[in-house]
Amino acid sequence: MKLKINGVERQVAADWQNENLLTVLREHFGLTGSRFSCGIGQCGACLVHVDGIPMTSCLIPVSEVVDKDVLTIEGLAAEDGTLHPLQQAWVDERVPQCGYCQSGQIMQALALLQNTPQPDDADIDRAMSGNLCRCGTYTRIRKSIKKAALVMKEAG
């Protein structure tokens, strides 16, 4: 059983083939940036992209993503460590408090900007309202998305 995670092909060992994608990412491959929070696809803390589509990895059996491309938060920054504009905006606006949900928030924001490069408030509400943040960092998330959108537009 193979899948591609952040551009690298990985083999899922036999013991882990009955698990969901989140468990395999975290416990088998040690990619712990995607996090378990609700377990029923209601909060977005485990959000990753599968073939470019944002999905809550706690709900997907790993067997369903065989041979697919999975992008996790660990694959977002450039190889030289340069942060993605979204990550940089998150730092500049000092978004995280406890931080537990923020990987999922950033991955959802990435999907939003891929579909809607210049989102307005209503777009952000629609796209981001499935990603919960108990600390209540929403105002800074909103600001960061708009900021990253501008940076990405200027960079072309």
Residue ranges binding another protein (CB under 8 A)? 15-16, 18-20, 23, 26-27, 30-40, 42-43, 45, 72-74, 76-77, 83, 87, 90-91, 94-103, 106, 124-126, 128-142
Query: Phi and psi at residue 5, in whole multiples of 5°?
Result: -115, 120
Q: Based on CB atoms, which residue is closest to another protein, 70 or 124?
A: 124
Least distance (Å) between residue 55 CB and another protein? 17
Q: Please count the other Cβ atoms lying within 10 Å of the Cβ belonging to residue 153.
A: 12
Greatest alpha-carbon pair distance for the chain in Å reads 47
Least distance (Å) between residue 39 CB and another protein? 6
Q: What is the DSSP letter of 126?
A: H
Encode burial over 87-118: b for 16+ CB neighbours within 10 A, e otherwise: bbbbebbebbeeebbbbbbbbbbbbbbeeeee
Least distance (Å) between residue 155 CB and another protein? 18
Least distance (Å) between residue 80 CB and another protein? 13
Q: Based on CB atoms, which residue is closest to another protein, 3 or 33?
A: 33
Q: Based on CB atoms, which residue is closest to another protein, 3 or 85?
A: 85
Query: Phi and psi at residue 142, in whole multiples of 5°?
Result: -60, -45
